[in-house]
Structure 1
Amino acid sequence: MSVRRATAADSRAAAAVVRAVYAEYGFTWDAGGHHADLEDVAASYLSFFVAELDGTIVGTAGLSRRGSLERLYLLSSGRGKGVGGALLRAVIEDARERGFARLEIWTDKILTDGHRLYERFGAYRDGERVSDDPDASHEWRYILALSGACVAIFDDGGRLLVVRENYGRRRWSFPGGAIEAGETAAEAAVREGREETGVEIELDHLIGSYGLDNGFLVHLFRGRVVADEPELQPGGELSELRWLPPDLIPEPRSNALRHGLPDALAGRRDVVRENLARR
């Protein structure tokens, strides 16, 4: 299986994939209206990708000019083989390189396989609508952050400031979060650190950038508290904030903490690690 950027010459085959999925689910095909973008996929999108198996296009996905995932569809012959994940990663990486902070995804409520894929990649559900397509489809909205930033803060005794998530697996992690539009990684680390701990933080240096196997990229900085005392902030997103010796931080740990803590303890700078396994 391979994923590549589509050209205008791929438009007919790409449209055939989308049309086959529409037929499978009984959706209405609207060649001159709702599906006119497929007449030239290269011109209609910032980027459009196709997945091939044995030289045949079996999957499609595009990035719109407003930063949304579009036309992620797979033929039945391409399912269960990692094709959907490969296409989604291609769009994620392209969107991040173009400066988008997040990916917006609208998906029909009956396409549950797609929902599982998005959630596996870290997307969260954030709304619903009735689409303007010919079927007036009921859709979920998902948001997928593309990159994040966090900060490693040690006290004079070598303890690390960590927070515990109050959702999902309730993991322990560095203070941090998603990078917002128009924000640098360093600015995000300072803002998220302040929002989660209530303190003013000054950054010393970048420890490293960690690319996970779902395409998410997290930047870890070394920092220090310059004002106030850390305390758990209201809002409910976090359940605990503690100073802990690094070897006594409980499981489960966030991916950033698992992959970044050894580099922070070793005093490393500007590390780049890619395709790291998530837990």
Structure 2
Amino acid sequence: MPRDDESADPLLPPEHLPGGSGGVWRVGRTVRRPVGPWTPAVHELLGWLAEQGLGGIPHVSGIDAKGREIVSYIEGRGVPVDDEVVLDSVLVEAVAWLREYHDLAESYRPDGPRLWRQSGGPVALEPGQIICHNDPGAYNWIIQSGHFVAMIDWDLAGPGEPLDDLAFLCWTAIPLYRDIGAAEAARRLDLVVDTYAECGPITLLDAVERRMTTATERIAAGIERGDPGMIHLASRGEPQRTRDRLADFRTRRPAIEAALA
């Protein structure tokens, strides 16, 4: 288990990592991140997933002397979603991983209500819900040697429907939030549908509109209650940026549906 200070390896000084709300650091082979009231529920979930043998997740090692969580550092690179469209093969690997996670998560039933970041208080799973990642955008993927290897940043995990997770993934990974051409968007949407093997493309497009509308509402609510992560998103123009992108997506959607046909 990593030490709870930053002196474990004086030759590897702490390295500030991009993303998050400004307080994420790499220390040796670990990542140190701020915690919140939701952290115990997230750690419980990640611990259970590790016990089940799910690959592609960070492993929790506790809390350090500064009160930050300690999770394993996963080698690879992130995805700059505004500058890159991931390869078809990487998209398929990520969707296959998400399906594996969802199938496994169906068996995860906490023994009582848990407090999740966006729940506003302790809640129990409702019928048809699982604990979703809730933020599986391509910016939370780790790519290694041209392959998807991990999904990071589990702070927003909480109750939801599996299709909502898949819809969120499509928003940044197809991507649907920006124009890549209707034919290309339709082709990659078919890849997702064929890999996940649960719904048709029109159902998924409906889910995208619903899920990203919910995302704007959650960001706005988080800003209102002073959530540091949501305030960080506000500095980047949220939730209005996603609202604008949704409006643009709605104008492009008929052409995508025509290309699907």
Higher share in strand = 1
User: What's the TM-score bracket when you normalise by the shorter of the two chains?
Assistant: under 0.3
Higher share in helix = 2
Q: Normalising by structure 1, report the TM-score.
A: 0.26
Q: Of the two, which has the highest radius of gyration?
A: 1
